[in-house]
Structure 1
Amino acid sequence: MTTSQAATRTAGLRDRAEAVIPGGVSSNVRLLAPRVFFERGAGPRLWDVEGNDYVDYLLGQGPAFLGHAHPQVTEAVARAVRSGMVYGAQHALEVEAAERFIAAVRWPDLVRFGVSGTESVQGALRLARAATGRRRLLRFAGHYHGWIDNVLMDFGAEGGRPGTLGQPADALADWLVAPFNDTDALAEVFSAHGEEIAAVIVEPMMCNQGAIVAEPDFLEALRALTTAHGTVLIFDEVITGFRLALGGAAEHYGVTPDLAVYGKALAGGWPVSALAGREELMGRFGTGEVNHSGTFNASVMAAAAVVATLEVLTEDPPYERVAEHGTRLRAGLAGLGDKHQVPLRIQGLPAAFHVSFGGPRSVGGSAPVRDLSGLRELDLVRYAEFSRLLAEHGVWVAGRGIWYVSAAHGDAELSDALERVDAALTADTGTA
């Protein structure tokens, strides 16, 4: 295929998509992304329909923690579905998936599988309300817990403003919103409303916005306050689960929640979520007093993908390799920022970090960002535009700044990525 033929194919796919799919995309998260059509992925790389390769640090918004099309996972799913897909009943792989999950994460007593993190969050909130008899909920500014009306919030607002047209104005009426990493503000909320709050839900590392790590005393204070007030503590580990450690953020930080929601890295790229927690909470599903349903929950494909993924993560743990690659990548990016004399900022952990440009109020572009208000001080618009330039140079990343490292990234990807980022910064700054 010639270059012109390939470009024509991309343009044709774009026109066809826009004719039958709203905005040409199936998720609004992709509306502002470069309109690239991919043909395949393998390990840490993607190839588009024009034959261009990309070093992938987006990983499908996080799920491809093992890399794309991991052979052990894809073969396990293919083998399992030859016997069936959805039974409307239980099957042996479901039990094995649950056993492996509990053995890996260690702190929960019970687990239920779902399809998306958004729906499993709903199950967690429902359980908390059922257990406490309370209605109010607490969350943190800038944290994301799904796109459903009762959780979607405008990231541009500190409070609980709806995030979209069509969302009822009162859909968020039960929420209290506090700044992340602020133990004093947290204590004030509990002093005023502690006996009303059914649950606190938190990204233990604020990954969706800024890759902001929890400060040492914040999660411990949150655990102590929720325990003291009989409030259910929910960790939203959709991103951090199985990524920061085999036991997720709970293991990484040494703080145990009452309930936690998992997804993304759980099933090697397959759409699987999990809600896990203490028996006295999760057991309410088993008695039938609290409803949790779903035709595709723990399907054959889902269970096979979970079993195979957890086999890989436990038999050949990739966490040291991921940390080493992420550390070298972060150092290389920082060096390129210095080389091109741009205020490139890198924050987070080696497995998941945020890249941005410093803003005029960000203390030389290097002050740690600890909450949503600090994130707003950065030049996020410039980085979003730069991410499009990175795509043109063969580095696939999110426009909002998050970079994910997979178990499949190696020396070749590190070298290629840094060379391509260097070229993109040269084009961006006009330096030779």
Structure 2
Amino acid sequence: MSTNQALFERARRVIPGGVNSPVRAFRSVGGTPPFIARAQGPYFWDAEGVRYIDYIGSWGPMIVGHVHPEVLEAVQRVLVNGFSFGAPTEAEIEIAEEIAKLMPTMQQVRFVSSGTEATMSALRLARGFTNRSRIVKFEGCYHGHADSLLVKAGSGLLTFGNPTSAGVPADIAKHTTVLEYNNAAALEEAFGAFGDEIAAVIVEPVAGNMNLVRGNPEFLKTLRALCTKHGAVLIFDEVMCGFRVALGGAQALYGIEPDLTCLGKVIGGGMPAAAFGGRRDIMAHLAPEGGVYQAGTLSGNPIAVAAGLKTLELIQAPGFYERLSAQTARLTNGLAACARDARVPFSADAIGGMFGLYFNETVPASFADVSRSDIPRFNTFFHKMLDAGVYFAPSAYEAGFVSSAHDDAVIDATLAAARDAFAALAA
């Protein structure tokens, strides 16, 4: 038995499924997950000493690569002062000011410890602000595991949503309406039917949890206009795409101002940190100023704030996003060329430091489109790349991530492995 297999068996005795987040279990692709021992730059190493080129980057945070020396130094500098205080610190103000500078729609910011906390709290705040209950989300967009968000579409457009997880009461799910992503006509119909009931619409403007799917500009503009017209709160879930697709997030790319924004991943530099924020008049309803309660023992943790502040500083270096975008496009264009040479149906997309791989001839615009991909062929590709030392997301429904540490040599090594993998798929 290999070391990874032994660790997986040991983990399954004390951890449900052997993992602390489901996708890590490799259930979608099959096989035994490598247990990671250390990381550096664009690589990590498993418990058996095998090195992998890492294209998940802790699912997005490691935008400057693993263990960047300046981020490490920033963390080490604050560690000696204490791990957590449960009291205010000046650094919390500094990172809030930095985020507000980079994302001007976030006039005020409240820090939490996870993306789920951020989205859950933003929805509660929106409901408290509007005195309404209904929320709207989109098929394929994942916003964390809060009860009201683990909902899929009903049998018809205007039917109640259905829970996608055991333990979610139908009475909670009925307050969530699920629409098709990038479908402006469905938006118009939903707001026409119950616009005065909608507290908030939450959306990933660039989706990363049904693989990478870009929001259509007209869809997002329609969404902004309808929320304004009907007094609903527009929430951009930029936990994944915030500071990943552009310095000002997807909202800067599209030129659309949400009422509230949820952030995570990059703002913690790999440490557990997230935030939600937005219009001052909405944020004023949050305790202790208002009646919407939210609290967290480790919110604004000084170590996470130090890592996040330094990461936000590094990504503002001149040309950072131009180089990151170029390397990500070099990867996806190269993979598409390998697939064409092998005559394997395949497409790819990239925006900033995020990318998507699809075993389909066209880039998807919705969850239904992604579902039409050749999933078994993706699974075979995934394992051939893993065997060659390249770690892509272990699911055809997850986006990938490139860091500033992924230089030409790393991309070239990836493409060399991909040529062999696509050739084997075509055989």
Given residue 261 of structure 2, which amino acid in structure 1 is its aligned partner? Answer: A
SS in 1 for 2:316: helix
Matched, 1:384 2:379: yes
Residue pair 1:111, 1:274 contacting (<8 A) in 2 also: yes
Residue pair 1:212, 1:348 contacting (<8 A) in 2 also: no
- In the other structure, the counterpart of 1:375 is 370
Matched, 1:420 2:421: no
Residue pair 1:117, 1:273 contacting (<8 A) in 2 also: yes
Residue pair 2:259, 2:278 contacting (<8 A) in 1 also: yes
- In the other structure, the counterpart of 2:353 is 351
Matched, 1:12 2:6: yes
SS in 1 for 2:225: helix
Q: 1:154 to 1:29 in 2, by over 3 A?
A: farther
Give CA deviations for 1:317-361 in whole Å, capped at 9, x if unaligned: 521111110111111101100111110121342521211212xxx
Give CA deviations for 1:180-226 in whole Å, capped at 9, x if unaligned: 11111111111111111000000001211131111121111111110
- In the other structure, the counterpart of 2:133 is 135
Give CA deviations for 1:54-109 in whole Å, capped at 9, x if unaligned: 11111111121111112211221121121112212101111111111111222221
- In the other structure, the counterpart of 1:320 is 322
Q: Unpaired runs of 5+ in structure 1?
A: 1-6, 359-364
- In the other structure, the counterpart of 1:3 is none
CA distance in 2, matches of 1:157, 1:191: 19
Question: 1:156 Cα shift?
Answer: 11
CA distance in 2, matches of 1:175, 1:193: 12
Residue pair 2:45, 2:52 contacting (<8 A) in 1 also: yes
Q: 1:320 to 1:63 in 2, by over 3 A?
A: same
Alignment of 1:35-50 (within 5 A): 35-50=33-48
Q: 1:52 to 1:244 in 2, by over 3 A?
A: same
Question: 1:36 Cα shift?
Answer: 0.5
- In the other structure, the counterpart of 1:296 is 298
- In the other structure, the counterpart of 1:206 is 207
- In the other structure, the counterpart of 1:164 is 165
Alignment of 1:83-162 (within 5 A): 83-154=81-152, 160-162=161-163
CA distance in 1, matches of 2:4, 2:255: 48
Residue pair 1:272, 1:302 contacting (<8 A) in 2 also: yes
Given residue 175 of structure 1, which amino acid in structure 2 is its aligned partner? Answer: T
SS in 1 for 2:111: strand
Residue pair 1:395, 1:421 contacting (<8 A) in 2 also: no
Given residue 137 of structure 2, which amino acid in structure 1 is its aligned partner? Answer: R
Residue pair 1:104, 1:310 contacting (<8 A) in 2 also: no
Equivalenced residues, count:
417
Structure 1 counterpart of 2:426, from 416, 422, 429: 429
Residue pair 1:154, 1:163 contacting (<8 A) in 2 also: yes
Given residue 183 of structure 2, which amino acid in structure 1 is its aligned partner? Answer: D
SS in 1 for 2:148: coil
- Which deviates further from its counterpart, 368-377 or 302-311? 368-377
- In the other structure, the counterpart of 1:362 is none
Question: 1:284 Cα shift?
Answer: 1.8
Q: Unpaired runs of 5+ in structure 2?
A: none
Matched, 1:65 2:66: no
CA distance in 2, matches of 1:80, 1:338: 50
- Which deviates further from its counterpart, 193-202 or 415-424? 415-424
Question: 1:10 Cα shift?
Answer: 2.7
Question: 1:381 Cα shift?
Answer: 3.4
SS in 2 for 1:176: strand
Give CA deviations for 1:207-266 in whole Å, capped at 9, x if unaligned: 111311111211111111100111100000011101111110111111010000001122
CA distance in 2, matches of 1:205, 1:281: 24
Given residue 409 of structure 1, which amino acid in structure 2 is its aligned partner? Answer: H
SS in 1 for 2:403: coil
Give CA deviations for 1:134-192 in whole Å, capped at 9, x if unaligned: 11111111111111222113599887322222332333110111111111111111111
Q: 1:111 to 1:327 in 2, by over 3 A?
A: same
Given residue 160 of structure 1, which amino acid in structure 2 is its aligned partner? Answer: G
Given residue 130 of structure 1, which amino acid in structure 2 is its aligned partner? Answer: G
CA distance in 2, matches of 1:344, 1:65: 26
Residue pair 1:239, 1:263 contacting (<8 A) in 2 also: yes
Matched, 1:405 2:397: no
- TM-score using structure 2 length: 0.93
Identity value in percent? 40
CA distance in 2, matches of 1:155, 1:340: 38
- In the other structure, the counterpart of 2:391 is 396
- TM-score using structure 1 length: 0.92
CA distance in 2, matches of 1:427, 1:155: 38
SS in 1 for 2:172: coil
SS in 2 for 1:314: coil
CA distance in 1, matches of 2:3, 2:217: 51
> What RMSD, in angstroms, separates the aligned Cα atoms of the two structures?
1.9
Q: 1:400 to 1:155 in 2, by over 3 A?
A: farther
Question: 1:316 Cα shift?
Answer: 4.8
Given residue 415 of structure 2, which amino acid in structure 1 is its aligned partner? Answer: L
Residue pair 1:70, 1:268 contacting (<8 A) in 2 also: no
